[in-house]
Amino acid sequence: MTERSLVLIKPDGVERNLVGAILARIETKGYRIAELQRLSATRDILEQHYEEHQGKPFYEPLLEFMMSGPIVAAVIEGDRAIEGLRTMMGPSDPTTAPAGTIRGDLGRDWGEKVQKNLVHGSDSPESAEREIGIWFG
């Protein structure tokens, strides 16, 4: 069955005018953009989205960062899209994310409490359905 993933281009990606570059990588890979929306995230949406990180030291800085500017939210479809998108994005830390990944090629550390790493991608089919419900209703 074709998978769906919730992809977010975080405020740093929008601020740095990287929306087109990031979506182009996803489309060039062969995945399909099923839904696309530019929005400002509310605290309520972010508390639901980042439920698993509540209480961690980077939780508040993460929410502040995600509310610092507009976000682009997308539903991306394709066979094994969840795994494929996570591979394309690379690991969370943009300093050590391998070259060739979105975070490795386009991201860096900015000396802040939260890692500004341009993108979010769902980490499992269960997370994807939960997150698509949060962002697209």
Within a 10 A sphere around the Cβ of 82, how many other Cβ atoms? 20
Which residues lie below 8 Å from residue 47, measured CB to CB, with a gap of 6+? 54, 63
Please work out the total of residues on this chain that contact ligand IDP, with binding judged by CB under 6 A: 9
Q: What is the CA radius of gyration of the chain?
A: 14
DSSP string over 27-55:
HHHT-EEEEEEEEPPPHHHHHHHTGGGTT
Least distance between ligand IDP and beta carbon 27 (Å): 21
Active-site residue (options: 72, 120, 128, 135): 120
Residue (73 or 114) nearer to ligand IDP, CB: 114
Does residue 73 touch ligand IDP according to CB under 6 A? no
Least distance between ligand IDP and beta carbon 5 (Å): 12
Angle between helical axes of 19-29 and 81-89 (0-180°, round to 10) = 130
Which residues lie below 8 Å from residue 27, measured CB to CB, with a gap of 6+? 33
Question: x/- site string to ligand IDP, residues 2 to 21, per CB under 6 A?
Answer: --------------------
Does residue 88 touch ligand IDP according to CB under 6 A? no
Least distance between ligand IDP and beta carbon 12 (Å): 9
Question: Do the beta carbons of residue 75 and residue 35 sit within 8 Å?
Answer: yes
120 is catalytic: yes
List the interface residues with ligand IDP, window 99-128 (CB under 6 A): 114-115, 117, 120, 123
List the interface residues with ligand IDP, window 43-72 (CB under 6 A): 53, 58, 62
Which residues lie below 8 Å from residue 65, measured CB to CB, with a gap of 6+? 10, 11, 12, 112, 114, 116
Residue positions annotated with a catalytic role: 120
**Which residues in this chain contact ligand IDP in the complex, by CB under 6 A?**
53, 58, 62, 92, 114-115, 117, 120, 123
